[in-house]
Amino acid sequence: MAVAGKYDVAVIGGGHAGVEAALAAARLGCKVVMFSISLDAVGNLPCNPSIGGTAKGHLVREIDALGGEMGKVTDAVFIQSKMLNKGKGPAVHSLRAQVDRKKYHMEIKKRLEYQENLDVKQAEIVDILTENNAVYAVVTQTGMQYLAKTVIIATGTYLRGKILIGDYERESGPDGMFPAKQLSESLKRIGIKLLRFKTGTPARIHADSVDFSKMTEELGDEKIVPFSFETKEISENKASCWLTYTNSKTHQIIRDNLSRAPLYSGRVEGVGARYCPSIEDKIVRFEGKERHQIFIEPMGLDTKEMYAQGISTSLPEDVQIQMLRSIDGLENVEIMRTAYAIEYDCCDPTQLYGSLEFKNISGLFGAGQFNGTSGYEEAAAQGLIAGINAARKVQGKKSLILDRSQGYIGTLIDDLVTKGTNEPYRMMTSRSEYRLLLRQDNADERLTPIGYEIGLISEERYNRLLEKLSLTEKEIRRLNLVVASPDAANPILEKWRSSPIQTGIRLSELLKRPEITYEKTASLDPERPALPEDVCEQVEIKIKYKGYIDRQLAQVNQFKKLENKLLPIDLDYNSIHGLRIEARQKLNKIKPSSLGQASRISGVSPADISVLIVWLEANAK
């Protein structure tokens, strides 16, 4: 077999996970090769033409804070930007941007091609070669062998991909691309357990066939917040989205044709995403709901294609047409791309360490939908961590493992490798017990020092963060000293319907009132320094939510005590007397790195944790 090249890191897949993995490893000094079945699908957005959303926006900002690329590219090609959940507290504020789908792909592809240490190749990988339970090469469909010290699998929905539309099915990747048909068998041969999952996407429709006068226009924010902490100049909104709803006629059409839906005809093998169900699944599960939201979103500025968010389906094409034309504003709609479901192979993520390296195969990593997740942002986050850790393994350095208190990325990966998943995993703010600390606005404070330490953040950017933190703390100290008199403060408090004061009050105390903002206290503070907007934001949040933040920090301290009690990776739990049989089985399967991780394994009880604590104390040496 001909050897075509020798690399430190080989990345299989050019989607959002593969892109971040390849860029990170190359920027850390490794020689990297990234394979994609089609270079026209690199950085593709096969489902929704958007980045971010609830909790997902947090992931994008964390990716950027660590030195990843998704946020920067989104800022360069967005066509509408909106901060979601602004009526709620800052813990759940999440950015979401509509992007120009084609320009996003082109920008990603350009950045890959211009990256030093990185070769980008169009090829299907059909085999991963191992020796002594360690990877050493990958093999292309044409028989070329690429030697590699580490390999990252980021195959998305391509592994044995199968498209389903009513009774019709074909082997295919997303968007009509070729599937990866042979790699699954190779993975099984080297001992990797695979699962079968399903996801889907709505139809794409022609803008000229839509009556927007019957819909509600959804505008972007007037004040645009970029995803990347490095973006200094941001463009403006260039497009609108539109809101309409399904109705009783739509629902009846779906009910009348459920027997023709693969999901209900028994032809679907894979498990679908609970939190992103098809429209037929919504109608069945939420029988009493009279209507469901449908957002009509542009695919780009230079195309008439629009995306119908909220009506994902695998119903037959004739039913799709009837269903769409029953909706207000879509009476004469023309479908450009038919909606479909796609089944694909992925791995059981409990086979992975927190570094995303496989436990039984040294140097082999998994990332993205291959690990059982759903969504571009979850994929990119895993890709970044896998790329970092593949590079660090090559360089003989300790793996980077973020814990649950450090970021949504840590929560995402810990959930996957500790609990596993029996359906496509989607990130949500409710999954994090520390969400008040893990806000999208402070991702740089939490993770940029880590990005700097590992080598993905420049010294200039790190110093800018230190300056921001210094200004924030200095201003908080100053506001603790500035006192406003009743005569000065009460007219302002009355204006904003806040209770009057009888004696002088520190401005920091005023800021704790929900209705009072940092900006509203400006007239009471003639010595206020001119500060950057992001500093003002942090000052207000840290003062206003100090009590809640301090309480959560105390919870983190308790969490860290268990996380810092490390367990040997090669420990045989059958040798520990007092553990229940189920606990021994689960612990031997997961091989937790700490007592904290062990406590989160399903089937491991508090009594089992007590036994492990006693064992650790007895074997402290």
pLDDT at residue 214 tops 80: yes
**What is the predicted pLDDT for the residue at 1?**
74
Q: Are strands 32-36 and 118-122 parallel, antiparallel or unpaired?
A: parallel
Same-domain status, 217 and 113 = no
The CATH number linked to 598 is 1.10.150.570
285 part of a folded domain: yes
Percentage of the chain with pLDDT > 70? 98
C-alpha dihedral (164, 170, 171, 176), degrees to nearest 10: -80
**What is the predicted pLDDT for the residue at 288?**
87
- As a whole number of angstroms, the distance between CA 613 and CA 607 comes to 10
472 part of a folded domain: yes
- As a whole number of angstroms, the distance between CA 26 and CA 46 comes to 26
343-399 pLDDT tens trace: 999 999 999 999 999 999 999 999 999 999 999 999 999 999 999 999 999 999 999
- As a whole number of angstroms, the distance between CA 431 and CA 186 comes to 34
Same-domain status, 152 and 38 = yes
Those residues whose C-beta lies under 8 Å from the C-beta of residue 478, and which sit 6 or more positions away, are none
* Helix segments in 16-118, DSSP class H: 16-27, 56-66, 70-77, 101-114
521 part of a folded domain: yes
The CATH number linked to 396 is 3.50.50.60
Are 355 and 394 a contacting pair, CB within 8 Å?
Answer: no
262-291 pLDDT tens trace: 877 666 666 666 667 889 989 998 888 999
**What is the predicted pLDDT for the residue at 275?**
64
Same-domain status, 241 and 282 = yes
Q: What global pTM score does this model have?
A: 0.95
The number of folded domains in the chain is: 4
Same-domain status, 376 and 490 = no
Average pLDDT of the residues in 139-159:
97
Tell which of 340, 358, 393 closes a domain. Answer: 340
Same-domain status, 231 and 271 = yes
**What is the predicted pLDDT for the residue at 319?**
97
557 part of a folded domain: no
* Helix segments in 67-149, DSSP class H: 70-77, 101-114
Same-domain status, 55 and 185 = yes
Could you tell me the residue range of the domain that residue 386 belongs to?
3-200+344-454
506-552 pLDDT tens trace: 999 999 999 999 999 999 999 999 999 999 999 999 999 999 999 99
Same-domain status, 32 and 91 = yes
Task: Locate 71 and state its tokens.
Answer: 């946020």
**What is the predicted pLDDT for the residue at 110?**
98
87-140 pLDDT tens trace: 899 999 999 999 999 999 999 999 999 999 999 999 999 999 999 999 999 999
8-51 pLDDT tens trace: 999 999 999 999 999 999 999 999 999 999 999 999 999 899 99
Same-domain status, 384 and 433 = yes
Same-domain status, 148 and 219 = no
pLDDT at residue 183 tops 80: yes
Are 283 and 251 a contacting pair, CB within 8 Å?
Answer: yes
Query: pLDDT grade, residue 231 (50/70/90)?
Result: very high
Q: Which residues of 421-433 are buried (b: 16+ CB within 10 A; e: fewer)?
A: bebbbbbebebbe
Query: pLDDT grade, residue 195 (50/70/90)?
Result: very high
Residue 273: DSSP 8-state: P
The CATH number linked to 296 is 2.40.30.260
555 part of a folded domain: no
Same-domain status, 445 and 494 = no
Task: Locate 508 and state its tokens.
Answer: 């920091």
**What is the predicted pLDDT for the residue at 273?**
64
Same-domain status, 223 and 173 = no
The CATH number linked to 540 is 1.10.10.1800
Strand-pair partners of 195:
346
Average pLDDT of the residues in 247-261:
94
Tell which of 550, 580, 597 closes a domain. Answer: 550
**What is the predicted pLDDT for the residue at 117?**
98
Provide the mean pLDDT of the chain: 95
Q: Please report, as a single letter, which amino acid is at residue 148.
A: A
- As a whole number of angstroms, the distance between CA 261 and CA 278 comes to 10
Q: Please report, as a single letter, which amino acid is at residue 41.
A: A
**What is the predicted pLDDT for the residue at 206?**
98
557-602 pLDDT tens trace: 999 999 999 999 899 999 999 999 999 999 999 999 999 999 999 9
Expressed in angstroms, the distance from the first to the final Cα of the chain is 49
Same-domain status, 196 and 211 = no
- As a whole number of angstroms, the distance between CA 489 and CA 474 comes to 23
**What is the predicted pLDDT for the residue at 619?**
85
559 part of a folded domain: no
**What is the predicted pLDDT for the residue at 46?**
92
322-332 pLDDT tens trace: 999 999 999 99
277 part of a folded domain: yes
Tell which of 436, 454, 472 closes a domain. Answer: 454
485 part of a folded domain: yes
